[in-house]
Structures are given as C-alpha cells and as structure tokens.
Amino acid sequence: MKNIICIVARTNSTRLPHKVLRSIGERKLIEHLIDRMKLSKGFDEVYLCTSTHEDDKILIDIAKENGIKYIAGSELAVIERLLDAAEESGADNIVRVTGDNPLTDPFILDIVLKDHLKKVADYSIMTFIPRGSTGDVVRVKALKKLYGMMDPNESQYLAVYINNPKEFNCNFIYPPKKLFKPFINISVDMPNEFDDVSELICNLGINASTEEYVKYAEELGICSFPKEKLIKISETKTMKYGDYIEWQVKKTKGESI
C-alpha cells in the first residue's frame, strides 16, 4: 500500500500575487510547507503538483532543490495532476494539500490516513479544525471514479464533489474538542493572513502542533476568520462561512479518534 502527499500549487494568485513564493524568514512559503510535509511518518513520498504554464516553472525548480518529486500538468484540472502523480508513483492513496497552507499539520494527516486505511474509505478528512491545517485523503480508485463524474476544471473544489455518500465511502473525523476551531484561519489568501501566518512561523517554527499554533494565535488575537465572509463552494456558488460551518455540522456524522 503506497500513500503520497500531493502539494497543489501555482503562482497565479490574484489577491496576493505570487504568495507561494513570498519569503517568511529565510524560506519561501511553499518551502515551509514542503519542510512540514517531510515530518509525516505515514506517507511515502511528497509530490509538488503544478502546471505546465511558463510562470510555474519556478515551482519545479523549488521541488528539485528541496528533494521532492513533481508533476507539471493541466492549468485548471487539478484532479488530472493528482492522477498523474498517483500513476507515476503507483500510489493507492493520495492526500491533497494546497500550496497556500504552509502550516498543514503532518501529524493530523498521519492520524487521518491511519483511520482512512482502517475503514477502507474513499475519502477522509478531519473536520472543523483550523482552516489551512489539514488536507483531503483520497483513495486513487475513488479519484478515478470522480474524474468521470465531474468537470475536471472544477476539481479545485474536489471536496464538494466527492462529498456524496451515495457514490463514495466518506469518512469525516471529528477532532478532539481542543481542536474544534473552525473560525481560526492559518491559510494564506490575503495580505493580513500572510502576516498572521508569518508571525506563527517566525515565533514557533514549522515543527509545532496545530494546538500550539492555535494557542499562540488566540493569545495574540490573530488568525480569525469572519463568520460573515463569503467563501466559494464552486465556481458559481458562494456561502457565508458561518452558514457553511453550520451546514457541514448538520450534514456530517463524524467521530473523535
């Protein structure tokens, strides 16, 4: 059984241009994520999944410099890049991690993978922990099935489409109470979020647990995510974040582990 981490990243961000290439201390944001993913014990390899666009060649160079593998594929169809990485590596399961989440928790990913394998799930995720601290574990067979059921160019919203219990064995894991923090944000999309995450990395490094980042953020009063903020759940649909969390709580039947 082979399991790989797929870091999905491009350089085409608009609200915070080239955010994955911005420096935090002596390392780029994407390099902090790579370093953090190397702390995982459950996954065999790390892939950086980017596009063939000329502007993204720098990410291939970063992958090489940091000793991880890479895939350059479709600009829009994220799912195709994931499948390319799975095919090249011979993976049975992948975890999709987005490049703007430098503090994705490798320790939580290992816990989720273990439960995913135990339950022979198609899709597993730990729900309601801080935004930007986890990724989606997906069985490659399920990913191939999903590819035939959706528009591949909408696959950046993979979690929305695979959340279909009639078609897939979805495994939603509730976090320990101390990590039930859906309104803490350690993802980077806006300049203030970059500043907040930089504060965490510069003071705690990249080896800390999510619980430690949350504690520090709450002490400083940073990394909050407004309930009223609109988030995209597809290319055409938005929802207030607070309403989205309520919807997910009602929809999801999870369990603590």
Q: Do the Cβ atoms of 42 and 3 come closer than 8 Å? A: yes
pLDDT-above-90 percentage for the chain: 83
pLDDT of residue 100: 95
Kindly state the percentage of the chain with pLDDT values over 70.
97
CATH superfamily of 3-252: Spore Coat Polysaccharide Biosynthesis Protein SpsA; Chain A (3.90.550.10)
Q: Write the pLDDT tens digit of every residue in 166-185.
A: 999 999 999 999 999 999 99
Please provide residue 63's backbone torsions phi and psi, each rounded to the nearest 5 degrees: -60, -45
Q: Which residues contact 26 (CB under 8 A, 6 or more apart)?
A: none
- Kindly state the tokens that stand for 64: 């090489």
Residue range 180-193, pLDDT digits in tens: 999 999 999 999 99
Sign of CA dihedral 35, 40, 45, 48: negative
What pLDDT score was predicted for residue 253?
53
Residue 221 CB neighbour total at 10 angstroms? 7
Cβ(186)–Cβ(130) below 8 Å = yes
Q: What is the pLDDT of residue 186?
A: 98
CA 254/CA 257 separation, integer angstroms? 10
CA dihedral (172, 105, 73, 158) in degrees, to 10, reads: 20
pLDDT at 252: 65
List CB contacts of 61: < 8 A, sequence separation 6 or more.
none
Query: How much is the pLDDT for 257?
Result: 42
The model's pTM is: 0.92
Contact criterion met (CB below 8 Å) for 74 and 152: yes
**Residue ranges in the chain modelled with pLDDT below 70:** 251-257
